[in-house]
Structure 1
Amino acid sequence: MTKRVTFRSVQGTFTSDLLNPSSAAYMNRAAMIVNQLTPIFQREFGTSFKSLKVVSFSNGSIFNTLDSVFESTSAPSDTQIARVLISAASIVTGFDIETSSITVNGISSSGVSHKISLVVACCLVLLSWLLSSQQ
């Protein structure tokens, strides 16, 4: 199972040679990203993780698009992949991961935290209502 991952590197400067997969700039950046993220994905997802491949770079500082391949029977959720990238943001070197820009299969990582916040808010409202009705 392949999951498309995208994140923005705000500290990078996009150059047109990043559009060409056979250019030195493209190959060097792709290798740097894959070489640093692969061990992190292997550690987090074990044998279900198969590979990571850079698909493209695009303008906007630099948007990095990768395909992460997993065993279809034990692939992690999109949220789990986003969380691994969020935690990797503090340890990668040579490129940065803007955590609010992470998407997995088109779903934004920032949306994950909002959904969690909404659930927490609903639980707090319910708890408040229950406690106020006890008086």
Structure 2
Amino acid sequence: MNGTQAEVGVEFNKTTPATTIPKAEEVQATLKEAVNNPNITLNVTFDAASIEIIRVPATAPPTVSTTVLQNTTITTNGTAANITTVAATMKPGTSAASNATTKTLTTVTTTTTTKTTTAVQTIRQLTFRSPGETFTTDLLDSTSTAFKNRATLLKSTLEPYYKRSFSSFSDLTVKSFRNGSIINEMELRFASASPPTGSEIAQVLVNAASNITAFTVDTTSIFVDGTQVSSGGNHKISLIMASCMVLLSWLLSSQH
């Protein structure tokens, strides 16, 4: 009958150092000062003499989330919140006092465990030459239409072969082109700390070369991580040389 008593919990931001959090008496004094200040207009009228501290935290303030005290029950995540509760009596006859109800603050302690997973990825550099194709200077500019079109062509053509060959293969990115006819430089990413060897990566390109019509592949000029990898093309040269030697031997023997 003498007014409405309200309990207000004051919770400090989690970034506030424990040593700088105001004491309970300072919290009480701040509210009294605001009530007694004639320059501050409040929506309700407080009885300054009734302002008192009724609860203070038992331990040092932990890390909590800042919560606006609007609901009947307040729950904070993390460990117990540092909440200082101040009680004050609002005098009857004010606009808010007639419908005011007592607020109850509840602190709930929960534990959250976060697992961090680091993905392992290995990048291999693949370079090969496209003989018979004309290099143009706009292939030096990664923003040019010519560069984008050729990069898309190589990516869409080669990625399916590597996906079928290696389960750890992630994707392929064209990095640059150089003159001679066109030298293609790209990165292959594998979701593994033990990716395929340079020979295995090159062999996929060698096997695919005969089926690729969108661009040419010189199987004798395949490099993985800067090291030239031998291929089937070298064997073709050896067969030609062997045939010439047989023919020469036959010609020499026929003269005797």
Matched, 1:76 2:196: yes
Task: Quote the sequence identity (%).
Answer: 43
Alpha-carbon spacing, 1:32–1:111, altered in 2? closer, same or farther (3 Å): closer
Larger strand share, 1 or 2:
1
Matched, 1:102 2:225: no
Q: CA deviation at 1:34?
A: 0.4
Distance 1:11 1:104 in 2: 22
Distance 2:181 2:215 in 1: 11
Match of 1:31, SS state, is: helix
Match of 1:23 in 2: 144
Q: CA deviation at 1:27?
A: 0.5
Match of 1:133 in 2: none
Match of 2:150, SS state, is: helix
Match of 1:124 in 2: none
Matched, 1:67 2:176: no
Q: TM-score, normalised by structure 2?
A: 0.42
Alpha-carbon spacing, 1:26–1:106, altered in 2? closer, same or farther (3 Å): same
Matched, 1:38 2:183: no
Matched, 1:10 2:131: yes
Distance 2:213 2:191 in 1: 28
Q: Can you list the C-alpha shifts for 1:23-79, whole angstroms capped at 9, x where unaligned?
A: 111001000000000000000002x00010000000010000000000233411111
Q: CA deviation at 1:11?
A: 2.0
- Structure 1 residue runs of 5 or longer lacking an equivalent are 115-135
Distance 1:61 1:13 in 2: 6
Aligned AA (1:49)? F
Alpha-carbon spacing, 1:89–1:112, altered in 2? closer, same or farther (3 Å): closer
Distance 1:85 1:55 in 2: 17
Residues 106-121 of structure 1 aligned to structure 2 (within 5 Å): 106-110=226-230
Q: Is the 8 A contact 1:99 1:109 kept in 2?
A: no
Distance 1:111 1:52 in 2: 21
Distance 1:37 1:63 in 2: 15
Distance 2:132 2:208 in 1: 16
Query: What root-mean-square deviation, in Å, do the aligned CA atoms of Structure 1 and Structure 2 show?
Result: 1.8
Distance 2:202 2:133 in 1: 20
Distance 1:90 1:111 in 2: 13
Larger helix share, 1 or 2:
1
- Structure 2 residue runs of 5 or longer lacking an equivalent are 1-121, 235-256
Q: Which moved more, 1:72-81 or 1:83-92?
A: 72-81
Q: Of the candidates 174, 179, 198, which is equivalent to residue 54 of structure 1?
A: 174
Distance 1:94 1:107 in 2: 26
Distance 1:11 1:94 in 2: 13
Q: Using CA pairs below 8 Å that are at least 6 residues apart, which structure has the higher relative contact order?
A: 1
